[in-house]
Amino acid sequence: MSTQVAVPEAEAIEPTSLRQRALDSLRSGNLGSWPVIIALAVIVLVFSQTAQNFFTPGNFTNIITQMAGTCLLAFGIVFVLLIGEIDLSVSFVSGVAGVIVAEAQLPNGLHLPWYICIFLAILGGTLIGAFQGSVVALVGVPSFVVTLAGFEIWQGVIQRSITQGVIVIGSTEDPPQLSHSCTTV
């Protein structure tokens, strides 16, 4: 005995127009990345009209140089967010690493070569990350709480360790000058 299953004819699905899908997305509030793209276009338009040197190679070099540290932190945070955690202290942990490099290079301090200073900064950041990660993994404290506490702690470490103001690292021929841009009230 053969059993045949009736296969319904494929229902014709009417394709919606691109305009209709865009309107539906706008009504539902699902705009995706369009607000960011529009805002970026407005910013580029305004600055290209008000600054004569906006589209110059020097300006793009300056922008890329200033964004390098922030982009590196953002790349790292993406992986933290992908595993469903959060790190609120990343900015001040990187600040502690910067203080380690700056303090270790001062002539009246340790006056170490740059590559040892970089190694010490990476080691310091790794130890801080291992400590905070251990509290999350072994003790079970939520990462939000641990990194919020780390945010405050490492901010205090930076403020306590820089007592002379801004640390300016000069070339190896001239000793660096300390700038006192912080004023006390």
What is the rounded distance in angstroms from the CA atom of residue 89 to the CA atom of residue 102? 20
Listed as ranges, residues in the chain with pLDDT below 70 are 1-15, 169-185
Where are the chain's structural domains? 34-84, 85-185
> What CA–CA distance (Å, rounded) separates 100 from 118?
8
Query: What local confidence, expressed as pLDDT, does residue 184 receive?
Result: 42
State how far Cα 47 lies from the chain centre. Answer: 24
DSSP line for 82-115: HTT---S-HHHHHHHHHHHHHHHH-TTTT---HH
What pLDDT is attached to residue 146?
Answer: 97
| CB-CB contact of 149 with 134 (8 Å) | no
